[in-house]
Chain A
Amino acid sequence: MTSIPTRESELERTVLEPLRRTPTGFYLVIAGLGLVMLTGVAALFNQWYLGLGMTGLNRPVYWGIYLTNFVFFIGISHAGTLISAILRVTQAEWRRPITRIAEAITFFALILGLLQIWIDMGRPERILFPFLFGRFQSPFLWDFTCVGVYLMSSMLYLYLPMIPDLARMRDRMTDAPRWRRWLYTLMSFGWHGNAEQRRRLEVAIGIIAIVIIPVAVSVHTVVSWIFGMTMQPMWHSTILGPYFVVGAIFSGIAMLFVFMTLVRRAWHFEKWIGPKQYNYLGLLLLVMSAFWGYFTLAEFLTTGYATLTHETEVLHAKLTGEYAPAFWIMVVGNLVIPFAILVRRNGRTPVGTFFASLSILVGMWVERFLIVAPSLTRPSLGLLPAVYTPSLTEVAITAGSLALFALLFLLFFKVFPAISVWEVEEGEEVDAIQPKARELAHAAD
């Protein structure tokens, strides 16, 4: 890492290839995603022009799929924290090729999460309200503070391990367009890569990796408290905090699987993102699925046994009422399909984990929806029960948000390498030295 090798390695060549060459398919994907995103933007302008009332969001159902998307995206953002920070702290070597993808997912998911709140506020200028009128007793203010800190931490955590690679690109990609060379020079932050600078970088990455874990846990706990601090049926529960955190890590790993599999296939990273990553991460996904099942059972069983009038109404709406199809899609998506695929070793392959993860992402989005909407349709403060059906505007904005998320990810990795080259090289050095070190240790014994 310290001095840049004179000749490009196979890894470097493969990783830099998507940055140097742009196939037609890339433009087609960008155009398709851009079209969906623009539809969402048009729907958003229409909503601003006509007012939030045109979506039908009003008392008692004042939160709909925008809040569902917010909780979903904030959950996805836990991918980077878990995979990168926890595995880095525990020195799991197999993490090296996938950390950057995980960190980028975190950063872009957070931006999309915050965007949902802005959309849900109804007017663009209201984004200033938490700064101007936020009351410190309100979980909204706690949330705004935690998410803000998490966003800054994630940005830095994505950026720090990129510095040596950026310096390499500054020196290597001399034929790149001028704006890109300027960007690499600016972002490499005067990196010369001597021993002291490398030591300082590793200390800084270590500090952020440790700091970001409690920050991430606090973020999703506080997101749950937005619901948990109110007296709505099935929201006012102490289990909501850990339930949200478990769901966040679960969906974060699933999103990582989807993106890393697509990137691996499109950019031919098969040599570096291989069976080890799919097996270990697949096992982690299976464990998180079991955790999620345990929390769901605990939540529903205790609510069912207490038979409190308002809570039971919501529970019945979920289990056997109008939300029952969604409930069973959630159970099948989060438990049945992942278990059926991932429990066997030959299921933890790129194809197996990809489909299990897609199923989990659908299941987790539905889970977020089932937390937000049903409780509001059965108000406990004398308002009449209501029905919530997402409007076309909300659906268009949701589709636009998902397209924007994918678009940001793709464009980012068109400019920056998707695999941390210096970290993978360092891992290869460690792998090469380890057998010799073991031999020496045996000889000394």
Chain B
Amino acid sequence: MAHWFFDTPTIGSIIVFAVAISVFIAYFRMLRWIQSAPPDSRPEAETPKTDVEK
């Protein structure tokens, strides 16, 4: 009976959907993280140092 629910195509579909959705969510959260950066009022924060300056 179990193979009706857990046959190979079902597991395959679950893998495809699970990977696709988790990657999509991770990437979307990354974008929101960039967008939600708090505005910085300090004037020196507006001119970040380059690698060489550091």
Contacts and interface: CB of A to CB of B under 8 A. Distances in A.
Interface of A: 2-3, 91, 130-138, 141, 144-145, 148-149, 152-153, 156, 160, 163, 189-192, 194-201, 204, 207-208, 426, 429-430, 433-434, 437
Contacts of A197: 34, 37
A76 to B, nearest CB: 22
A313 B11 CA distance: 39
Given A189-B31, A194-B46, A195-B40, A144 B16 contact: yes
A358 B17 CA distance: 39
B5 interface: no
Given A189-B34, A430-B52, A136 B23 contact: no
B50 A429 contact: yes
A198 B23 contact: no
Contact of A133 (B9, B17, B24): B9
Contacts of A133: 9, 12-13
SS of A interface (majority): helix
Given A145-B15, A156-B30, 8 more contacts: A130-B16, A137-B8, A141-B15, A148-B19, A149-B23, A152-B27, A197-B37, A204-B33
Interface of B: 8-9, 11-13, 15-17, 19-20, 23-24, 27, 30-31, 33-35, 37-40, 45-48, 50-53
Contacts of A429: 50
B45 A194 contact: yes
A132 B24 CA distance: 20
B44 to A, nearest CB: 8
Nearest to B46: A2
B40 A200 contact: no
A261 B10 CA distance: 48
A132 B13 contact: yes
B37 to A, nearest CB: 4
B23 A3 contact: no
Given A135-B9, A149-B23, A153-B23, A195 B16 contact: no
20 contacts: A2-B46, A91-B51, A131-B13, A131-B16, A134-B15, A136-B15, A138-B12, A141-B12, A145-B19, A145-B20, A148-B16, A163-B34, A189-B31, A190-B35, A194-B37, A196-B37, A200-B33, A204-B34, A208-B30, A433-B52
B17 A198 contact: no
B30 A2 contact: no
A136 B11 contact: yes
B16 A201 contact: no
Pairs of residues from A and B, 8 with the lowest C-beta to C-beta distance, nearest first: A134-B12, A197-B37, A195-B45, A135-B8, A196-B37, A136-B12, A133-B9, A433-B52
SS of B interface (majority): helix
Given A141-B15, A195-B45, A430-B51, A148 B20 contact: yes
Contacts of A149: 19-20, 23
Nearest to A196: B37
Contacts of A163: 34
A149 B17 CA distance: 11
A155 to B, nearest CB: 8
Contacts of B50: 426, 429-430, 433
A135 B12 contact: yes
B16 A141 contact: yes
Nearest to B31: A189
Contacts of B35: 189-191
Nearest to B20: A148
B8 A2 contact: no
Given A192-B39, A194-B46, A196-B40, A152 B16 contact: no
A433 B34 contact: no
A229 B52 CA distance: 50
Contacts of A137: 8
B42 to A, nearest CB: 8
Contacts of A434: 52
B39 to A, nearest CB: 6
Contact of A132 (B9, B33, B34): B9
A2 B48 contact: yes
Nearest to B38: A196
Contacts of B40: 194-196
B27 A196 contact: no
A156 B26 CA distance: 11
Contacts of A2: 46-48
A136 B8 contact: yes
Contacts of A189: 31, 34-35
